[in-house]
Amino acid sequence: MKNLLFLFGLLIIVSCADVNSSISVSEENQAKFEQHIESFRTFSEGFAAEDMEMTLSVVSESVQWSPPYYNGGQLIGYDGFKSAVQGYFDNFDDVKFMEGEGPNMNPDADPNANSAYWSGSLYSSATPTVDPNGLRVYGVWKWKHTETGAEGGNKWYGLITFGDDGKISGFSDWMDVNGMNVQIQQYLETSKN
């Protein structure tokens, strides 16, 4: 009877083991993940410097971009992407990406952990994967409107895919585009007083 209780207890302990511990990330995939983070940092640093060459140095000429505003689901190519970047350069100064800024919504996470970058999908409605070529990025874009001097920021989320060459091949981003106009208008209203 003691043996049966022991085996039953052992069975419960083993069955409650952390499922995530069986998933391993290869050193190669971890290195790719880190490389993709650095590529995005190059992109955002180029953006901050208003350096088109640096910004696009990590973007494939075959990139497919889904902009933050709704356009019926149409993907935009390299030239349209480049034009949008130039539009930001022309209308905003002091643009900075603040990695993972905002509350860390995971109560079990280290509060000092950088929660800006994620890859792979342990749980998914598609096939779970540890593939690092799809990067999810969270943060805040801060900016100063060139014409008015209004300062503002936008919470931002991006899905970025990387090709075999390590360059951005797909880019889909979400933010409240109209919120930029709201912040500028609020600035103009308060500066009248």
Task: Quick: pLDDT tens for 37-53.
Answer: 999 999 999 999 999 99
CB 52 within 8 A of CB 172: no
Phi (first) and psi of residue 11, to 5 degrees = -60, -40
Q: What is the mean pLDDT of the chain?
A: 83
Nearest-5° Cα angle at 96, 158 to 149:
120
Kindly state whether residue 85 falls inside one of the protein's structural domains.
yes
Q: How many C-beta neighbours within 10 Å does residue 40 have?
A: 22
CB 174 within 8 A of CB 138: no
Kindly state whether residue 131 falls inside one of the protein's structural domains.
yes
CA distance 65 to 170: 6
Please indicate whether residue 38 or residue 108 has the higher confidence score (pLDDT).
38
Q: Look up the domain containing 71 and give its range.
A: 27-104+114-192
Residues 118-123: contacts with CB under 8 Å, at least 24 apart: 119/33, 119/36, 120/25, 122/20, 122/23
**pTM for this predicted structure:** 0.80
Q: Per-residue confidence at 6, pLDDT binned at 50, 70, 90?
A: very low
For the residues 96-125, what does the mean pLDDT come to?
A: 67
Kindly state whether residue 88 falls inside one of the protein's structural domains.
yes
Kindly state whether residue 22 falls inside one of the protein's structural domains.
no
Fill in the amino acid letter for 181: N
Phi (first) and psi of residue 134, to 5 degrees = -115, 115
How many structural domains compose the chain? 1
Residue-level pLDDT at 2:
54
Q: What is the CATH number of the domain that holds 69?
A: 3.10.450.50
